[in-house]
Every structure is written in C-alpha cells, then in structure tokens.
Structure 1
Amino acid sequence: MRKTLYIIGLSTCVFSCTSQPNVKKNTYKPKTPVVQAKPAVKPATPEPPKPKIISDHGVEFFTTNIADPTKNDNTASYGSIVSAKPAGYKVVKTYFPAIAQNFRQRYLILHYTALPDDKSITVLTQQAVSAHYLVNNTGDNDIYQLVDENKRSYHAGVSSWRNDKNLNDTSIGIEIVNTGYTTDGSGKRIFAAFSDEQVRKVAALAKDIIVRYQIPATNVLAHADIAPTRKQDPGPMFPWKKLYDEYQIGMWYDEATKQNFFDLAQLDFTTRYNEPSFIFLIQTALQKFGYGVDPSGQWDDATKKTIEAFQYHFRPQNYSGIMDAETWAILQALNQKYPIK
C-alpha cells in the first residue's frame, strides 16, 4: 500500500511539472547608445569686400554705392569724405561705410531771379540769399555754381511739401535768370519767357542732379509749389511739360485720365461750387498732393494762391487762382498718378 501511494505521488509531481508553460529566462542585454547626428555646420559666408576708399593727395573719396537702392539709400560720396580730427586720437575707416545711409539732397527746387544777369550774381553771392546753381541768360555754355551741394543754400525759405518742412535742409536750389513778371492794367501778371538755351541748361543740370541723388519726380518742384502764399517763381512760362516729355524730369498728368475726371467734374462745378463740403474736398486734394494748405471749407486767400501756384505748374494757360473743372480734373489725375507712399 505504501508503495502504491509513492507511485501515485510521483506521477502527480511529474504531471504537474510537465504541464507548466515554458518560461524564458531573462537574459541581460546592454542598451545600445543612441548617437544623435550632429547638425551640419554651415561654413560662414564671408562678407564681400567693400570697395576701397580712394586717396588722392591726402584727400579721401568713396564713390561706390553698397547700400540698398530700392530704399533710396546710397553710400556714394560726390566729394571728399569729411572726417573729424579729435586731438590725441586717430579716426580710422576700418569699417567704412555703413550701408544704412542716404543723401541729404532729396528735393530739387527751381526758381527765377526776377533780376538781370549781373544783379542776379551780386544778390546771390553777396547777400543773405543764395542757390547752389545759377543758370544765366548770356547764351554761353556756363552754369555758375555758388554753393557746395553738400551744404545748405538759402533759397527756399519758409516752405513745405507733403510731410517735409524747411526744405533748405533737404534740397538743391537752381536759380534761373529771368525778369519775372509785370502787371497789366487789369492787374493780371504778365510773365517773361525763358530762352531755349536756358531751358536746355536747366534740363541738363536737373537731370544730372536727379540721377545722382535719386530724387523722385514728386520732389522736383517750383518755388511756388513749396511756398504758394508768397512766391510765384518760376511762373507759368517755365516749360514743365517740355522737361517731362523730352527729359523725363518732374511730374505731369496723363491726358486720358484727366479727361475722364473732367467729364465728371463739369457737373460738380455746375451744382456744388460754393458748397463748403465741396470746397473742403478740393482743399484736401491739394493738401494730399503736397501743398501746405489748411482745409477750411471756404475760398479763402490762401486757397486761391495755392490754386494759382498749381496752375502755374500744371495749367499755365489759365492761372487765375480760380478752381474750375479742368484744374480740378488735372489735380485728381495727378493724385491718382502720384499717391503718397
């Protein structure tokens, strides 16, 4: 009996052991270290070498633009480089020039002298008024320079255009010998003509200045434009359209656009001429174009003189100072063509 029980117990143990699932032994495997790829190091882009400063007899010049011309920036120097000379120290140009710069000369303003040649020279060189250039009327090829372009000349006086004031600070002035105007029996101003030789001189001079200083068309102006309540020059006889057509100088309107506005303007002048809201609209358009007129809703003296200055420049056939449909159409066409940026 004891033997029988032993055999049964042994069989149970064998059955129990053989019925257990196979258990895998845990085998230690060392982790493989993750190696992160190093970011590729871009080779440093060397700065392009700046053009050299030119030295001539101890005077330094830099005549290359390395700034951004699309932003109207320019590092070129149209004259010698002016540098400080601090006592005990040396000013070096190791990093010259910085690209963040542009010209002071942003405007070109045209005038007439209202004097003959000899008196024009005397006044512009010996009195408290000046210009950078004087265009004579003697029939030769000479143009007189009176002031360094890098310096302010006293030609604009109290002045403004768009967002800028005191334009002596930012302009080059050209005076043209011309006797100005006389007054007829009705009080109308009769202006003297400019000779063809003078116009060619002015065009060549203006073109050179405009190209060098990248002066936009909206900044090529008459003295009357920037000071309409006190100045008339260069007056309605100055051929602005000729300069625009033949030399691409300054502003002018497109005839088709003007005609479109003119067709609409005639009705306005028949029904709305004396309405304060309409007068305010015209004054605002003059201001938007660039003139320093304050909208008042009235045909006041300042507005009349501003319209007159506008007509000198853009409608010289009629410079009455009275806004009419054609003048209004021209103003709207110009505002569309030359918006403030």
Structure 2
Amino acid sequence: MVTLGFCRQNTGHRHKQPGVTLFSVYWQQGRKSQFRQLVYSTGALLMFGCATVKQLPSENHDKRIRSLVIHFTAIDYAQSVQALVGKDGLSSHYLLPESRDPSYPHSNLTPLQLVQEEDRAWHAGKSYWQGRTNLNDSSIGIELVNVPDCQPELLAAPQGPEYSSPSCVFPAYDGDQIGQLIELASDILARNPDIHPTAVVGHSDIAFNRKRDPGPRFPWYQLYQAGIGAWYDDGTLARYRQLFSEQRPSVYLFQKALRSYGYGVNESGVLDKQTKNALSAFQLHFLPAGVTGLPDSETAAILFALLDRYFPDQLAECVNDFEQQVELISTQQPPDKRGQLDQTLIGQTPDSTNQPYLRQTFKAYAGAGWISLAASQDSFADIRINGQKINIAQPLEAGRNYTYSLARRTRNGLNTLSLENLQPDNVSLDVRIPYPVLTGGHAETTIEDDKVDKLIQQRIAAGLPEAVLLVFKDGKIIKHTTYGTARKSASTSQTSIPPESPKSGHSRGLLAMFTQRMTGLTANEYCENLQYAPLGLDSHGAAAQVAAFDVSDDFNNSLCYGKNLPFSAPDLTLAEDKSATLHSDALELATLLQSLLNGGGYNDRRLIGTDTVQGLLSPGSKQGGSASGLQQANKLRHYFGPYASNSAYGVAGQPGLIALVEPELEMGIVFLTREPNTSDYTDEPASTQASAEPEFFAEVVSLIYESGLNAP
C-alpha cells in the first residue's frame, strides 16, 4: 500500500475509504508509468513549504454532499473500467463489480474507488433533486455492474429514456454485490450525515427524462431494511389506499406531490411526457411491479404515504388540495337536468294568492329558442314568455312530448318564463328550455368591410398556407371564411388535409386543455369520475375523441365516446375520410366559445358550471389565469388589440390560434392559421413574412370590431 501525503491542515477528520486504492486501479490496468509520474509530481510538491493558516471556524456552512445516486453500468466490468477511468470518459466515485461477469479478472468481489468523495465525479449529468440541479456538484455516485438485455434498435421507447423499451430484460442483481453496496453505502451515510433518506436515489429519479437505471430489479426495499434510503409505512399506505379508492388525485396534484418529494416535474396539470417519465421513475423506485407511467390510485397512495412520513408540511398542502378537488368534483356531477332550465312541476289546488307555479329566467337570443313540455296525465297550463302567453295544446296529452318555438317571444339576453294554472292536482309536468346554440353556419360574410379579407389574403399571398376566420354574434355565425388551402379543403368532401397535417389539433388541444385544467383532472379522469362526456363534439370529427388528445398528443384513445354534442350549425359534415380541417376546427371551437358565453352549457347539455367558468379567470384560482390557458384581454392586448373589453377573455399565442370570447357583445372570434413549413404540402421554403405574428392577429381582430358586426 502506498500513502501519498499533501500539505493540508489536520482537522481531525479521517475518511474511511473502503476497497482498493487508486494505486490498485492503475496497477491492475498496467499503468505503472502513470503511477510513477504521480509519485514524482507529488514529491516535487512536498519540496516546497506550506503557508501557516490560522483556523477561525464559521457557523455558516454545511456539507457539500447531499445525495447518494445509484446507477447501473449497462456494460460489463472491463468496459465499465474503460468508460469510467479512461481518458475522455465519465466517472463515478465507486464501481461495484458482479461475480457473474466473465470480464471481471478476480475471484473475490472488491469495490473500486475511482474518485475521492470530496471531488466531483461525472456521473449525474443534467439532473435535479429536491431543489438542486447538476447533482455532480452535491452527490456521491455508485455504479453497479449490471447489464440489461435490450435489442440495440429498441434500447428506448420512442422519445423515451434509455432502457425504457418493453423489449429490455433486466437481470436480478448479484447478492454479494448488493451486500457490498449496503456496507459501502452505510459508511458513506455515516461520513455524510446531511444525506437525507429521501436523497438516496437512482439515476432515473434525478434524470427521469433520460435514464432508467438502476432499473426495476434494484432492491430498494432491501437497502431500506438495512437503514439506507426511504420507504413508506404499511399502515399509512393502507390509509391512503382507502382515501383514493373512489377518486384519485388530479394530474396537477400528482405533479405537486412528486415535486414535493424531490422530482423535477413541472406542475402543468397536463399528463405530458415529462410527467409520465417522472411517474415511471417513481414507480421504478417504489412500485417496480407496476411501472406504467400513469397516475393510478396505488401510485398516489404510496406517494402520499412517503410525504406523510418524510415531508409532513408538504403533505398538508397536498391533502388540502385533494379535498378541494373532491369538493369540485362533487359540485360538477352532471345532473339529470337537460338544458339550462329543466324542472318538474306538480299540480295542486291554487291558494288564495294565485302565485305562478314557476318563475324563471333563461338566456336566449332574439328569434331563437324553444320549450319542451311533457305531462304525466292530460293537463292544462298557461305559459308566458316575457309576459306574452304562448299557444300550447289544451290539454297536454299524457305521454306525449311537446316542443314549441319561442322565436316570436325571445329577446337577446335574459328572458322570463312564468307557468300558471297547472291542473289537475298531482299532475307532473316536465318543463325544459335548452341553452342557446349557434345557427347560420353557411354564412360566408355579413361583415360590411372587406378589409379583413384583404389583410388575410395579403398574408396568404406572402406564403401563409391556410387560414380560417369565424365570427359569431348573438348566436348567429356572421362570418365563416376560409383562405388558401383551407378553402380548397372545405369546398369539397373529396379533398382532405394530407396525413402530416394536424387533424383537428386546435380544437382537440383546447378541449383537452379545458377538461384537464379547469377541473384539475385529465380528460380520462374527468370522464371516469363523472361518467359523462362533457366535451364530446360532432361524431364525424376527431374532436369527438377529445379524451384521446393532450398537449403531448399521447393520450389513450379509448374513452369518452358516444356522448356527442348536437349542433344547430348546418355545415358540420366533414370530409368523407373523416379528416378534420381547419374549417371544421373553427366550427368546433366556436361551439365551445358559445358554451362559455352560455355559462357552461350548449343545447340540452351542461358542460361545466357557471362558477367554474368564472373560476377559470380568477387570478387566485389554481385552475384560473394563464394556468388554465384562458386569459383576460388585458393580458393579451398584443393579440386581441385595443377594442376588446376588459371582460373579454380567450386563448392566444398557441401556434396559429386566436379564440376570443367577448361577453359585452355576445360575440366570439375564432381565427386559425397554419404556419409555413409546419405541415405544408410542398417542400419549398415559405416566406418568412408569412408567419402570423401577434401584430397580425391584433389587426384582424381590430378590423372585425370596426366592421360593425351586422348579423343578418
């Protein structure tokens, strides 16, 4: 054994360094000349004296080492030594061989120290854990020789971390190797008391978008039993299993809990790829038999049980958020009622006051609306809309459904309904008025000024491939114009967008975003919790499959079918091959915007409550403001222009999209474009002037406001 001494103050701290020394590593590799050079260089240093330094200890310090990171090498011992010791490679503080490795030249396993613990080894790469980045600066890394069996071309799932392919087979870890790891890790923890149990992690925990090591066969629980690392309490787990048995936490809450534990996941409320990768990493560590990357109830219970044990303050916030989620879901349970007014009245002997049986307000537009009546037995009643009696059958026959137009009685905004003289006693009468719907879908334009068309056509001539503009006011589509290739796509059922073009991407993206962020649940979770397709659209289009779309375009596409929202707009039939175009996107988005103007409903379906619509725009709401995607006009002036009122809101800034709701005018604007070179039909470069920048959107919106907005 050779000991090298350097000039340093003796602090009384002595490191216990297990295994063989750097001398042994150099000697085994036949690098004797390099070792001699190291000795000579060190001797030269010792020829010079050391400056005298007086110790004045400060209270303001802590230990550099805050994490212990476990890796597998994925290559055998000989290759690992070359990669971790040779020039221009990587490194770790320790390397642990395995006994089954034919490239290991010794009969007894011996841990190798490659880098001194006080030095930085290059093992973590881009990483994050518990608020720290670049964990090479603050961690000790241990590499275990363990080689998964993966087909080279299937090493990773598409756009996934290494060794995430289902084709990979992970061998069990060598028992002797794990025994030595436990001894080594125990010594490391003793020397570095600032390493918290939750900071004993795998490479997959700190770099979940890139790495999967040490893999699903690593015995984390065995280490915990030896006093190394974190684990949950079984009794606590049972309690959270019960809590989440009927309803799981939202994606937003999963993200918050994961980040509270240590994972560097963004709290977006969207089940995107980074969230799935983080969930997979967590499951690899604590639920290796169920690595799905999905936010299931068992994963939630384990995650909350760990927070309960190690981070009680963060747990309290997460539990409070979950209770609010449960309350929100309970208030969002879709009632059996259909439409904005759906009541059952019971006939009874009139009292001396002769008060009407029903007085109710409802929203409608002038010249539109209808009422549905159904009686349990032959009955009589008087119904007035805005004080004017409507003609209905007398009697209303039992078992028949009656529908009467209110077009001659309704006005824009709030309308009144009163029902009187319901007879005979004990008759039940169902009264229903639906939400307003859009009409006039074939209107090419009723906006007087053609400046809007000229402006958009100029941009088309400059290279913008396609655009669609739809404007509706007071329930009527007053402009629906297509430009460029979108015009060709909308003009014939035989023409469809090529396969590489987005298929209803704007509408599906917004619809899924609303589902996920205004409730805090993914589209999957919302449908599962409510047993309802709150945002289903035309059955011919891709938006009927809204639950199959998220920001990462990676949802399961198998739920929330069969609850399609009926439209009054007459031109919703898409191409024969059901490829959606920007033309159909605009119609679907307009319907969604109208439902927001209606307070959350459309036709006979309530999508969300009025309180939820308001909550989307509340500055302090977890679902509101920019987190929901909806923003008020004062935050989007550069897109909406100067005329939008302070009560206007919508979405802008997503590629090629403006969706504006103007409550002051009962108006909505949908303007969709497809940028050059995103999915155009040719490989020719488009003009850089063709892109739809904010100023262009703002000018289009401003011209619409200036046009007068004359509905037919």
Equivalent in 86, 90, 93 of residue 132 of structure 1: 93
User: Counterpart in 1 of 2:112?
Assistant: 144
Query: Superposition pairs for residues 198-277 of structure 1, below 5 Å?
Result: 198-214=177-193, 215-245=195-225, 247-269=226-248
User: Does residue 91 of the first structure (1) align with residue 72 of the second (2)?
Assistant: no
Query: Superposition pairs for residues 20-169 of structure 1, below 5 Å?
Result: 59-60=7-8, 62-64=10-12, 76=13, 78=15, 91-95=51-55, 97-98=57-58, 100-126=60-86, 127-138=88-99, 140-169=108-137
Q: 2: distance between equivalents of 1:58 and 1:229? A: 41
Cα deviation digits, residues 75-133 of structure 1 (max 9, x gap): x3639xxxxx9xx9973233355454433222110000000111111111114211010
Secondary structure in structure 2 of the residue aligned to 1:91: coil
CA 318–77 in structure 1, closer or farther in 2 if over 3 Å, else same: same
User: Does residue 195 of the first structure (1) align with residue 159 of the second (2)?
Assistant: no
The answer (yes or no) to whether the contact 2:148–2:168 under 8 Å persists in 1 is no
User: Counterpart in 1 of 2:299?
Assistant: 327
How far residue 283 of structure 1 moved from its aligned partner, in angstroms, is 1.0
How far residue 324 of structure 1 moved from its aligned partner, in angstroms, is 1.3
User: Does residue 294 of the first structure (1) align with residue 299 of the second (2)?
Assistant: no
Q: 2: distance between equivalents of 1:141 and 1:150? A: 25
The answer (yes or no) to whether the contact 1:217–1:249 under 8 Å persists in 2 is yes
Letter in 2 for 1:330: I
Cα deviation digits, residues 293-336 of structure 1 (max 9, x gap): 00221211111111100011001111121221111100000111
Letter in 1 for 2:89: A
RMSD value over aligned CA atoms? Answer: 2.7
User: Counterpart in 2 of 1:17?
Assistant: none
Moved more, 293-302 or 226-235: 293-302
Q: 1: distance between equivalents of 2:178 and 2:6? A: 39
In structure 1, list runs of 5 or more residues that go unmatched.
1-55, 65-75, 80-84, 273-277
Q: 2: distance between equivalents of 1:143 and 1:243? A: 17
Q: 2: distance between equivalents of 1:229 and 1:57? A: 42
CA 265–181 in structure 1, closer or farther in 2 if over 3 Å, else same: farther
Letter in 2 for 1:288: S
How far residue 233 of structure 1 moved from its aligned partner, in angstroms, is 0.5
Moved over 6 A (4+): none
The answer (yes or no) to whether the contact 1:191–1:235 under 8 Å persists in 2 is yes
The answer (yes or no) to whether the contact 2:97–2:109 under 8 Å persists in 1 is no
The answer (yes or no) to whether the contact 1:113–1:180 under 8 Å persists in 2 is no
The answer (yes or no) to whether the contact 2:109–2:177 under 8 Å persists in 1 is no
Letter in 2 for 1:93: V
Q: TM-score, normalised by structure 2?
A: 0.35
CA 121–58 in structure 1, closer or farther in 2 if over 3 Å, else same: closer
Cα deviation digits, residues 137-184 of structure 1 (max 9, x gap): 136241111112111111000000111111000111000000035379
CA 296–151 in structure 1, closer or farther in 2 if over 3 Å, else same: same
Cα deviation digits, residues 166-214 of structure 1 (max 9, x gap): 1000111000000035379x93543221010110011111110011111
Q: 2: distance between equivalents of 1:196 and 1:89? A: 49
The answer (yes or no) to whether the contact 2:203–2:212 under 8 Å persists in 1 is yes
Secondary structure in structure 2 of the residue aligned to 1:302: helix
Moved more, 250-259 or 103-112: 103-112
The answer (yes or no) to whether the contact 1:112–1:180 under 8 Å persists in 2 is no
Q: 2: distance between equivalents of 1:154 and 1:194? A: 24
Q: 2: distance between equivalents of 1:125 and 1:58? A: 23
Q: 2: distance between equivalents of 1:182 and 1:58? A: 46
User: Counterpart in 2 of 1:24?
Assistant: none
Q: 2: distance between equivalents of 1:258 and 1:340? A: 14
How far residue 287 of structure 1 moved from its aligned partner, in angstroms, is 1.0
Q: 2: distance between equivalents of 1:240 and 1:131? A: 20
Q: 2: distance between equivalents of 1:263 and 1:182? A: 38
Q: 1: distance between equivalents of 2:80 and 2:240? A: 42
Secondary structure in structure 1 of the residue aligned to 2:177: helix
Secondary structure in structure 1 of the residue aligned to 2:281: helix
Letter in 2 for 1:151: D
Cα deviation digits, residues 236-290 of structure 1 (max 9, x gap): 1110101111x10000000110110011112114xx7xxxxx1111111111111
Q: 1: distance between equivalents of 2:224 and 2:237? A: 16
The answer (yes or no) to whether the contact 1:63–1:78 under 8 Å persists in 2 is no
CA 125–90 in structure 1, closer or farther in 2 if over 3 Å, else same: closer
In structure 2, list runs of 5 or more residues that go unmatched.
17-44, 100-106, 155-164, 314-712
Query: Considering only CA atoms, is the larger Rg found in Structure 1 or Structure 2?
Result: 1
CA 93–256 in structure 1, closer or farther in 2 if over 3 Å, else same: same
CA 90–63 in structure 1, closer or farther in 2 if over 3 Å, else same: closer
Letter in 1 for 2:219: P
CA 123–193 in structure 1, closer or farther in 2 if over 3 Å, else same: same
Q: 2: distance between equivalents of 1:146 and 1:90? A: 28
Secondary structure in structure 1 of the residue aligned to 2:112: strand
Secondary structure in structure 2 of the residue aligned to 1:110: strand
Cα deviation digits, residues 20-47 of structure 1 (max 9, x gap): xxxxxxxxxxxxxxxxxxxxxxxxxxxx
User: Percent of aligned positions with the same letter in both sequences?
Assistant: 38
User: Does residue 175 of the first structure (1) align with residue 143 of the second (2)?
Assistant: yes
